């Protein structure tokens, strides 16, 4: 008998132990203790059961509201429930305004309780059990921020009728007392001048001296900025500075108005109507539409920057092609040379205006794009490599299209060489797109902020600068007479020009390797071989006595097979390893706006390299400036964070950051000193400029 009783107690203990192992309703982390509590003993069919997620936070630390402010991650819950059960949104208690240096957080301290409703289906069977798993994650911050998480798992029965849990009544009573009141009166949110203005009937006992409006949507309103409040004729107006979001198009704007102190404090949850989209105005520090004195200077920079593009590595191949064509005909047909000069300029201008117009239209529609955006698409990069490959094969003599030396462009001519000049100008713009050379950062950034006509004027002036050297040679006979005399050397020179063109094609393939998968790169390399075969077959089809028709069909088929897969190229995951980025001794980490804010808040100096694989200038600076071992040691000794904003593949966060500095393309180099102040480094970048910026932090003099 004693043995049986002992066995029974052992069995009960094992069952209880197993049940305890399955149930996990409380989690201990380094800075928080989190517990899940249901309001009732179980679910009732068709009714809602509330759960409390209570967090006990260490003194000095905080967790975040639904809008965390400048940085932070609020509580996230991933519920695993049986079919038919549905969890609602997290209901947060009233947050606190917590300044963090120049930034601010909307957060909770102490022991906040978050409430979540879970609704059972009407056909839930009484007597059954509901297995629940909650995967939770949140961020806990003091001077540093630490991500924390926990998995809760437990079971609750389905009861015929709701049965409250008396022991949990106090938890829910206190939690509901800390929730905001619902404010039912009308409210509107509008853009007025440089501010967003919330208008509503002034609440009873409203005190503007201790009031603050917590905006619900993240990034629309600047969290740390002061808010101006005034009451007139019973109407409260709250003027707030816009945040980093450029455009808010939702029809409603939720938020929470908190005012008063101590026992008399109140918090009102409201939803304002938004009659028109909220559009962030251009800061006064940037170029504005009325900035007439600045526009001529921007146009001058655009012209000079466009002219300098002719000596940038990305444009050299096309310049060589036109130089060869010019040398061939300058002495023989001066009138044709002038026409070619005008057509080349027309090709440059038309392509610049087309690309600039598309970019401005996309930006006006709310899309986050910058200059060189087309090269963020793998298929465009692959197509650019193919075009350069065909131009190189033409120059090398594998095939010919038309009579001029400009290659494939000449084959499009209805009059000898005319279309070749036009399309060579277009090609010059396409391959110039990876470069934002000296003097171009300001005008290119301003072009996206100014009215459309002014923006297009900047793009047109940039095109004039790019075309100016060739146009000058075309119309000044004295310069033409200084060119070498035509002769047999021209054929050799033509073939020699194919090598820089092949180098440019290889560069685009390298860019593609950063953007797509290994399989995608293999498809493009196979396509390159097919295109070369297509060019060879096309040339053979022109031979006397050959099977011209069959060869041209074969050539066309090979070209179609090469081009067909381009639109299906898949983008690869962004590079995450510092060594893969090729910065030598400098330890690099990927750019993140949240990480940047955190570093600035803790007083760490930060250097940001806005770069892209398709940007030749960026790669040159990487090899010459950032590969320096002494510079790497300086970054390490000063504890300066080196962040890489890699724009090779489209990234809205990086586009937004560029726009914040008035830039529309890369490269861009920004340095934040220990006080959090940022400055843009001048181009062209030098090791001395980087060292001088960091040295300002060492000596404490700033920038």
Residues 2-60: tens digit of each pLDDT: 444 444 434 434 444 444 445 889 999 988 999 999 999 999 999 999 999 999 999 98
**Which residues on neighbouring strands pair with residue 114, listed in sequence order?**
53
pLDDT over 50 at 1, yes or no: no
Q: Does any domain span residue 105?
A: yes
For position 684, what pLDDT does the model report? Answer: 75
**Does 223 share its domain with 340?**
no
DSSP for 108-162? Answer: E-SS-EEEEEEEPPTTPPTT-EEEEEEEEEEEEESSSEEEEEEEEEEEEEB-SS-
**Does 263 share its domain with 386?**
no
CA distance 640 to 642: 6
CA distance 585 to 579: 9
Q: How far is CA 669 from CA 411, 623, 685, in A?
A: 43, 15, 8
CA distance 514 to 520: 11
User: Which is more confident, 691 or 485?
Assistant: 691
CA distance 198 to 252: 12
**Does 167 share its domain with 202?**
no
For position 664, what pLDDT does the model report? Answer: 63
Cis previous bond, 223, omega within 30: no
Instruction: Compute, in degrees rounded to 10, the torsion defined by CA atoms 69, 75, 81, 86.
Output: -40
**Does 261 share its domain with 334?**
no
For position 343, what pLDDT does the model report? Answer: 84
- Does the CA dihedral 359-361-367-368 come out positive or negative? positive
For position 107, what pLDDT does the model report? Answer: 92
Q: How confident is the model at residue 698 (pLDDT cuts 50, 70, 90)?
A: very low
pLDDT over 70 at 283, yes or no: no
For position 227, what pLDDT does the model report? Answer: 93
For position 385, what pLDDT does the model report? Answer: 75
Number of domains in the chain: 4
Q: CB-based contacts of 43: which residues, under 8 Å, 6+ apart?
A: 49, 85, 118, 120, 124, 130, 156, 157, 158, 159
Q: Does any domain span residue 365?
A: yes
pLDDT over 60 at 99, yes or no: yes
Q: Does any domain span residue 15?
A: no
What are the tens digits of pLDDT across the range 479-504?
656 655 555 665 676 677 677 777 77
Instruction: Compute, in degrees rounded to 10, the torsion defined by CA atoms 331, 336, 339, 340.
Output: -70
Q: Does any domain span residue 561?
A: no
Q: Does any domain span residue 342?
A: yes
Last residue of a domain, one of 121, 149, 178: 178
Helix, strand, coil abundance in the chain, percent, nearest 5: 45, 25, 35
Structure tokens at 70: 């400048």
Mean per-residue pLDDT for 337-352? 82
pLDDT over 50 at 404, yes or no: no
Count the Cβ atoms, other than its own, within 10 Å of residue 567: 11
For position 407, what pLDDT does the model report? Answer: 38
What are the tens digits of pLDDT across the range 529-588?
888 888 888 888 877 556 777 888 888 888 888 877 776 665 554 444 433 444 666 888
Instruction: Compute, in degrees rounded to 10, the torsion defined by CA atoms 590, 596, 600, 601.
Output: -120
Please state whether the predicted TM-score (pTM) of the whole model is above 0.85.
Answer: no
User: Which is more confident, 412 or 455?
Assistant: 455
Q: Does any domain span residue 436?
A: yes
What secondary structure letter does DSSP report for 482?
T
Which of 151-160, 402-411, 553-562, 624-633 has the lowest average pLDDT?
402-411
Q: What stretches of 516-592 show up as alpha helix (H) in DSSP?
A: 518-540, 548-563, 578-581
Mean pLDDT computed over every residue of the chain: 77
For position 78, what pLDDT does the model report? Answer: 93
Looking from the CA of 74 toward its CB, the CA atoms found within 13 Å total 21
Which of 11-25, 253-267, 425-439, 507-521 has the lowest average pLDDT?
11-25
- Does the CA dihedral 19-23-29-34 come out positive or negative? negative
Instruction: Compute, in degrees rounded to 10, the torsion defined by CA atoms 104, 105, 106, 112.
Output: -140
Structure tokens at 344: 């080349």
What are the tens digits of pLDDT across the range 651-663?
788 888 887 777 7
CA distance 82 to 75: 23
Report helix angle 518-540 to 378-396, nearest 10. Answer: 30
User: Which is more confident, 90 or 1?
Assistant: 90
For position 289, what pLDDT does the model report? Answer: 38
pLDDT over 50 at 338, yes or no: yes
What are the tens digits of pLDDT across the range 356-398?
777 666 555 444 444 555 555 676 677 777 777 877 787 777 7
Domain of 254, CATH number, reads 2.60.40
Instruction: Kindly report the backbone phi and psi dihedral angles of residue 48, in degrees, each rounded to the nearest multiple of 5, phi listed first.
Output: -105, 130
Domain of 40, CATH number, reads 2.60.40.1250
Q: How confident is the model at residue 510 (pLDDT cuts 50, 70, 90)?
A: confident
Last residue of a domain, one of 486, 516, 546: 516
8 Å CB contact between 667 and 314: no
User: Percent of the chain at pLDDT above 70?
Assistant: 72
8 Å CB contact between 123 and 45: yes
* Domain residue limits at 626: 578-699
Mean per-residue pLDDT for 634-639? 85
Q: Does any domain span residue 564?
A: no
**Does 159 share its domain with 198?**
no
Helix (H) or strand (E) segment spanning residue 656: helix 652-660
For position 650, what pLDDT does the model report? Answer: 67
pLDDT over 80 at 666, yes or no: no
Mean per-residue pLDDT for 130-140? 92
Q: How confident is the model at residue 269 (pLDDT cuts 50, 70, 90)?
A: very high
Instruction: Kindly report the backbone phi and psi dihedral angles of residue 156, in degrees, each rounded to the nearest multiple of 5, phi listed first.
Output: -130, 145
Pairing of strands 145-157, 86-87: unpaired
CA distance 652 to 573: 15
For position 237, what pLDDT does the model report? Answer: 94
User: Which is more confident, 23 or 177?
Assistant: 177
* Tokens 């009325």, located at residue: 290
User: Which is more confident, 24 or 647?
Assistant: 24
CA 568-573-575 angle, 5° bins = 135
CA distance 38 to 54: 11
Last residue of a domain, one of 222, 252, 279: 279
Ranges assigned E (strand) in 335-489:
none
8 Å CB contact between 54 and 37: yes
pLDDT over 50 at 141, yes or no: yes
**Does 252 share its domain with 310?**
no
**Does 267 share its domain with 152?**
no
- Three-state DSSP class for residue 24: strand
For position 17, what pLDDT does the model report? Answer: 40
User: Which is more confident, 471 or 590?
Assistant: 590
Q: How far is CA 521 from CA 507, 516, 561, 616, in A?
A: 13, 7, 15, 20
8 Å CB contact between 673 and 640: no
Structure tokens at 474: 């075309």
Q: Does any domain span residue 601?
A: yes
**Does 171 share its domain with 223?**
no
For position 580, what pLDDT does the model report? Answer: 41
Cα 554 to its chain centre, rounded Å, is 43
For position 265, what pLDDT does the model report? Answer: 85
User: Percent of the chain at pLDDT above 90?
Assistant: 26
Radius of gyration of the CA atoms of the chain, in A: 33
**Does 417 share its domain with 498?**
yes
Domain of 683, CATH number, reads 3.40.30.10
Mean per-residue pLDDT for 521-529? 80
What are the tens digits of pLDDT across the range 301-334?
788 877 877 765 455 555 555 555 555 555 556 6
**Does 509 share its domain with 590?**
no
Report helix angle 316-329 to 489-515, nearest 10. Answer: 160
Which of 231-240, 339-348, 387-396 has the lowest average pLDDT?
387-396
Q: CB-based contacts of 32: which residues, under 8 Å, 6+ apart?
A: 55, 56, 57, 58, 61, 63, 138, 140, 148
For position 271, what pLDDT does the model report? Answer: 94
**Does 305 share its domain with 165?**
no
**Does 174 share its domain with 199?**
no
CA distance 548 to 539: 9
For position 287, what pLDDT does the model report? Answer: 36
């Amino acid at each position: 008998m004693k043995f049986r009783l002992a066995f029974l107690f052992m069995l009960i203990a094992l069952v209880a132990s197993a049940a305890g192992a399955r149930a996990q309703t409380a989690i201990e982390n380094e800075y928080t203790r989190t517990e899940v509590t249901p309001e009732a003993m179980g679910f009732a069919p068709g009714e809602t059961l509330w759960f409390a997620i209570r967090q006990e936070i260490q003194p000095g630390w905080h967790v975040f509201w639904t809008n965390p402010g400048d940085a932070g991650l609020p509580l996230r819950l991933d519920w695993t429930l049986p079919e038919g059960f549905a969890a609602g949104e997290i209901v947060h208690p009233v947050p606190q305004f917590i300044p963090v240096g120049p930034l601010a957080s909307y957060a909770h301290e102490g022991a906040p309780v978050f409430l979540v409703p879970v609704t059972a289906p009407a056909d839930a069977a009484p007597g059954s059990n509901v297995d629940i798993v909650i995967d939770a994650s949140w961020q806990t911050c003091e001077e540093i921020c630490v991500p924390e998480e926990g998995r809760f798992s437990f079971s609750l029965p389905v009861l015929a009728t709701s049965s409250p849990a008396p022991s949990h009544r106090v938890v829910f009573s206190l939690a509901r007392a800390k929730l905001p009141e619902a404010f039912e009166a009308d409210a509107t949110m509008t853009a007025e001048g440089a501010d967003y203005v919330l208008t509503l009937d002034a609440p009873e006992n409203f005190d503007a001296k201790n009031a603050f409006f917590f905006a619900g949507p993240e990034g629309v309103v600047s969290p740390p900025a002061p808010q101006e409040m005034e009451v007139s004729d019973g109407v409260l107006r709250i003027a707030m500075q816009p945040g980093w979001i450029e455009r808010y198009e939702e029809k409603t704007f939720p938020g929470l108005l908190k005012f008063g102190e101590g026992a008399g404090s109140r918090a009102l949850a409201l939803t304002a109507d938004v009659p028109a989209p909220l559009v962030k105005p251009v800061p006064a520090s940037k170029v504005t539409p009325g900035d007439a004195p600045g526009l001529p200077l921007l146009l001058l920079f655009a012209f000079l920057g466009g002219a300098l593009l002719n000596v940038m590595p990305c444009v050299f191949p096309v310049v060589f092609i036109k130089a060869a064509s010019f040398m061939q005909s300058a002495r023989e047909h001066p009138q044709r040379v002038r026409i070619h000069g005008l057509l080349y300029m027309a090709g440059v201008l038309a392509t610049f205006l087309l690309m600039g117009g598309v970019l401005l239209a996309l930006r006006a529609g709310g899309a986050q794009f910058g200059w060189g955006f087309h090269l963020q698409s793998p298929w465009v990069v692959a197509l650019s490599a193919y075009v350069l490959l065909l131009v190189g094969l033409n120059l090398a003599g594998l095939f010919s299209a038309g009579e001029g030396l400009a290659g494939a462009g000449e084959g499009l001519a209805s009059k000898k060489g005319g279309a070749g000049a036009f399309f060579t100008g277009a090609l010059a713009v396409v391959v110039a797109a990876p470069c934002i050379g000296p003097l171009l950062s300001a005008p290119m950034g301003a072009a996206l902020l100014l009215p459309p006509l002014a923006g297009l004027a900047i793009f047109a002036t940039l095109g004039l600068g790019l075309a100016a050297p060739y146009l000058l040679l075309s119309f000044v006979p004295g310069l033409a007479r200084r060119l070498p005399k035509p002769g047999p050397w021209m054929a050799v020179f033509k073939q020699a020009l194919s090598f820089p063109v092949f180098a440019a094609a290889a560069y685009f393939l390298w860019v593609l390797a950063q953007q797509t998968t290994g399989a995608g790169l293999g498809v493009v390399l196979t396509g390159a071989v097919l295109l070369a075969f297509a060019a060879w077959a096309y040339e053979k089809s022109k031979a006397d006595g050959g099977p011209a028709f069959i060869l041209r069909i074969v050539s066309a088929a090979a070209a179609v097979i090469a081009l067909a897969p381009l639109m299906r190229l898949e983008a690869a995951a962004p590079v995450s390893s510092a060594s893969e980025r090729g910065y030598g001794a400098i330890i690099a980490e990927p750019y993140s706006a949240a990480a940047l804010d955190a570093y600035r808040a803790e007083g760490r100096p930060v250097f940001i390299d806005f770069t892209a694989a398709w940007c030749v200038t960026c790669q040159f600076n990487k090899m010459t400036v950032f590969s320096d071992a002494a510079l790497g040691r300086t970054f390490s000794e000063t504890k300066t964070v080196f962040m890489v904003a890699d724009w090779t593949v489209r990234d809205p966060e990086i586009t937004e950051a560029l726009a914040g500095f008035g830039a529309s393309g890369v490269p861009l180099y920004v340095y934040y000193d220990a006080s959090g102040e940022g400055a843009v480094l001048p181009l062209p970048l030098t090791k001395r400029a980087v060292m001088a910026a960091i040295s300002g932090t060492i000596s404490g003099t700033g920038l």
